[in-house]
Amino acid sequence: MILHMIPGEKAGLGSADNEADVGMMSLAAGGYKSAQRQIVDRLLNRVRSTALYLAAGHQDAEDYAQMAIMEILRSAGSYRGESSLESWAQKITVRTVMRQIKKRRWRGQFMVVTEEYEGAVDACAETELSRRRALRQVAVLFGDLKPGVRAVMTMKLVHGYSIAEIARMLDTNEHNVRYRLRVGRQKLRRRLTNDPVLREWIGEER
């Protein structure tokens, strides 16, 4: 079970869609505000949710998300349509957020996920109550994972990317992605013995 999935944002758009996105990104790079607004509207929820989980609910997650959006807009002219816009932006988001986490080197500073953050992501949990409870727990639990493991877990469990897609976005191999997933799942599973909803979400190794 995927904790949440933002409609229409899964990787794997067709080439015609990518070609249209290349044109939009070119306009954004040229300073057209309407194109820039379209990009922000389309990607902001995904960027926010990625930042939230990578930062394990830390109070700077929203700042990280804004930095990532700015980097995406600055890099708009480099998008060539070789992958979906979402996959391309996801790679930039992960790189930007992880760089900020490493730079600030925070330790043990977590926050309860607020309504503002909860509103930034869509969920596929059975009920709104279980969704909110899962968000709070998982955002904090992700803080127990090393940054590289956290990145893979976020991209797989939160956004539903395949092993191959994650490997490409993180510039690593599939074996490394599978290893990080296994480590992350094992660590979280030990914490979730009495929580069937979250145990189902973590899923089996594959």
pTM: 0.67
Other beta carbons within 10 Å of 105 = 6
Spatial contact of 165 and 84, defined as CB atoms under 8 Å apart: no
Query: Per residue in 20-57, pLDDT tens?
Result: 999 999 999 999 999 999 999 999 999 998 888 888 76
| 27 is a domain residue | yes
| Helices and strands, number each (H, E), in the chain | 10, 0
- At 134 the pLDDT is 61
Spatial contact of 134 and 140, defined as CB atoms under 8 Å apart: no
| 177 is a domain residue | yes
How many structural domains is the chain composed of? 1
Q: Please list, in sequence order, all residues whose beta carbon lies within 8 angstroms of the beta carbon of residue 53, skipping any fewer than 6 positions away.
A: 138, 139, 142, 150, 153, 154, 158
| 2 is a domain residue | no
| Domain housing 125 | 15-202
Query: Left (φ > 0), alpha (ψ -120 to 50) or beta: where does 86 sit?
Result: alpha
Picking from 56, 82, 111, 87, the residue whose alpha carbon sits closest to that of residue 169 is 87
| 93 is a domain residue | yes
Query: Per residue in 150-204, pLDDT tens?
Result: 899 888 888 888 999 999 888 899 999 999 999 998 888 777 665 555 556 566 5
* b/e sequence 157-184, b meaning 16+ C-beta within 10 Å: bbbbbebebbbbbbebeeeebbebbebb
| 165 is a domain residue | yes
Query: Per residue in 106-131, pLDDT tens?
Result: 444 443 333 444 444 444 434 445 55
Alpha-carbon distance values, 36 to 13, 45, 206 (Å): 20, 15, 38
| 25 is a domain residue | yes
| 6 is a domain residue | no
Other beta carbons within 10 Å of 35 = 19
| 8 is a domain residue | no
